[in-house]
């Protein structure tokens, strides 16, 4: 029968006290459980030193920032367990274990974290898709989660879709993003967050009267469209409010150019539908954001306990030098459970509201929030829409559940894998108080996916995504 951690710590320390050589690893004998550490019946051990075994890329000082126990503290079982959770969440290690060794002075111990590092340069995004107006598009994203071994994040991604259908002289559609984050800088004894981001996007939205662009199915090059470009970046500052929570303030600016092209719609007497909102010609977006994030999940790949909460509000205003006055609020939550041994149940919720004259890309695209869409809409790739549906809404409500069935663990190329079975209900509306629009609506969608973890990242083979692309 396994000994509880509290008993193991107490027994290991007792054995260490009687051991012949200072600093030798403590052996945990098979014995009856002792009283938990910190109770009146248990010894109160002081942490003399914190050591890491197995670090090759990560600097010890960087790993130590995420340990809640400090030198000179009383050994606390709960803080040790939470420290293991924090180190696991980083994604730097495939295994984190703890043990205690006797210190150089009676009553003191060395707390040892034994880790196994994993590759931290991962594939963060992989895009492959097809739509009627775009036969093929694709892209790739890479992210380094432990740059220089100091815990810095460095990421970049691109998507390329070529020139629009039947318009060989038109500009190609593409999107580029890059970001750098230093999430745990030590400033005046506190943990500070610093981040920079940049983007460049050139795209277009078809603005047909109907979302299928049925009048232009034989020649999408004649369809009316909104052609636009975006370039800009942002900076963010924040701090940890708790070991698993963070608050971040950001400032972002973009230069936008937009042109409405009628195509042959007028000649064909078809007319165009309303274009997604953005100011014609050149305009500027300046926005201030406030975000709160809390994550206590036990495993970023296949969580079976814990919660995640992301809440943010964005304020665009002429007071900051921009041309758009709006607010955007989005709250996302996740609860992870394990009702059956080793299986996982994930409950998800998202609520969003946009008010004011927000540009279309700050609103909610319904297909981004469903597993699949029965209409022409297809989830966007790095904010690029390659489908014929250009509906963007102000109201969002999504609820879903996903059941995870573990399939294997401990492989080499495919280290872990599980089967995900999910369902989602989605509601979006163009305006507060308005009903669901008829364009490309999917009140319910389902998912069956194989998800697997590899040394170069986590991948998802999704039946819902295949339905979206080839229905």
Look at 79 and 14; give whichever has higher pLDDT.
79
pLDDT over threshold 70, residue 432: no
pLDDT over threshold 50, residue 109: yes
pLDDT, the chain, mean: 87
Token code pair at residue 233: 């970046």
User: What local confidence, expressed as pLDDT, does residue 111 receive?
Assistant: 95
| Sign of the CA dihedral running 156, 323, 328, 423 | negative
Look at 274 and 447; give whichever has higher pLDDT.
447
All residues at 6 or more sequence positions from 188 whose CB lies less than 8 Å from its CB, including other chains: none
| Listed residue (405, 378, 408) closest to 391, CA to CA | 378
156-170, 268-282, 342-356, 381-395: which range is least confident on average?
268-282
Percent of the chain scoring above 90 in pLDDT: 72
Query: Containing H/E element for 13?
Result: helix 5-18
User: What local confidence, expressed as pLDDT, does residue 29 receive?
Assistant: 32
pLDDT over threshold 60, residue 412: yes
Domains identified in the chain and CATH numbers: 5-117 (3.10.20.310), 121-470 (2.40.160.50)
User: What local confidence, expressed as pLDDT, does residue 267 receive?
Assistant: 52
User: What local confidence, expressed as pLDDT, does residue 4 receive?
Assistant: 38
Q: Provide mean pLDDT across the span 61-77.
A: 94
The CA-based angle 303-125-300, given to 5 degrees, is 15
Look at 12 and 65; give whichever has higher pLDDT.
65
pLDDT over threshold 70, residue 294: yes
pLDDT over threshold 80, residue 273: no
User: What local confidence, expressed as pLDDT, does residue 434 receive?
Assistant: 58
pLDDT band at residue 288, thresholds of 50, 70 and 90?
very high
pLDDT in tens, 170-222: 999 999 999 999 999 988 878 899 999 999 999 999 998 888 888 888 889 88
């Amino acid at each position: 029968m396994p000994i509880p951690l509290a008993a193991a710590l107490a027994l290991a320390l007792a054995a260490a006290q009687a051991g012949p050589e200072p600093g030798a690893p403590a052996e945990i004998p098979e014995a009856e459980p002792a009283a938990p550490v910190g109770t009146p019946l248990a010894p109160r051990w002081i942490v003399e030193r914190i050591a890491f075994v197995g670090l090759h890329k990560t600097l010890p000082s960087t790993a130590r920032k995420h340990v809640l126990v400090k030198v000179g503290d009383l050994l606390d079982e709960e803080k040790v367990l939470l420290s293991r959770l924090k180190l696991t969440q980083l994604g730097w290690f495939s295994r984190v274990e703890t043990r205690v060794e006797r210190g150089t002075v009676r009553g003191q111990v060395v707390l040892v974290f034994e880790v196994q590092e994993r590759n931290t340069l991962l594939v963060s995004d992989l895009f492959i898709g097809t739509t009627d107006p775009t036969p093929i598009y694709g892209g790739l994203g890479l992210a380094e989660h432990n740059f220089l071994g100091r815990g810095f994040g460095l990421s970049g991604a691109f998507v390329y879709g070529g020139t629009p259908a039947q318009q060989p002289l038109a500009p190609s559609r593409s999107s580029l993003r890059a970001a750098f984050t230093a999430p745990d800088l030590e400033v005046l004894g506190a943990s500070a967050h610093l981040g920079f981001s940049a983007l460049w996007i050139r795209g277009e939205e078809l603005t047909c009267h109907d979302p299928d662009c049925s009048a232009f199915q034989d020649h999408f090059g004649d369809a009316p469209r909104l052609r636009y470009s975006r370039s800009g970046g942002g900076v963010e500052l924040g701090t940890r409010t708790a070991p698993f929570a963070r608050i971040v303030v950001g400032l972002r600016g973009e230069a936008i150019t937009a042109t409405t092209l009628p195509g042959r719609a007028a000649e064909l007497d078809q007319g165009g539908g309303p274009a997604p909102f953005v100011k014609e010609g050149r305009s500027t977006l300046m926005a201030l954001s406030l975000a709160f994030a809390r994550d206590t999940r036990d495993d970023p790949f296949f969580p079976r306990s814990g919660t995640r909460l992301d809440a943010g509000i964005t304020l665009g205003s002429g007071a900051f030098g921009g041309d758009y006055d709006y607010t955007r609020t989005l709250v996302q939550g996740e609860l992870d459970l394990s009702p059956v041994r080793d299986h996982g149940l994930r409950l998800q919720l998202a609520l969003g509201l946009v008010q004011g004259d927000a540009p279309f890309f700050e609103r909610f695209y319904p297909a981004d929030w469903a597993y699949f869409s029965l209409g022409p809409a297809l989830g966007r790739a790095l904010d690029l829409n390659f489908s014929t549906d250009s509906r963007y809404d102000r109201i969002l409500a999504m609820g879903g559940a996903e059941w995870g069935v573990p399939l294997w663990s401990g492989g080499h190329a495919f280290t872990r894998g599980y089967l995900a079975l999910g369902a989602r209900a989605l509601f979006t509306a163009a305006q507060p108080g308005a009903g669901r629009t008829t364009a490309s609506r999917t009140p319910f969608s389902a998912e069956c996916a194989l998800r697997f973890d590899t040394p170069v990242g986590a991948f998802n083979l999704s039946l819902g995504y295949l339905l979206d692309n080839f229905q």
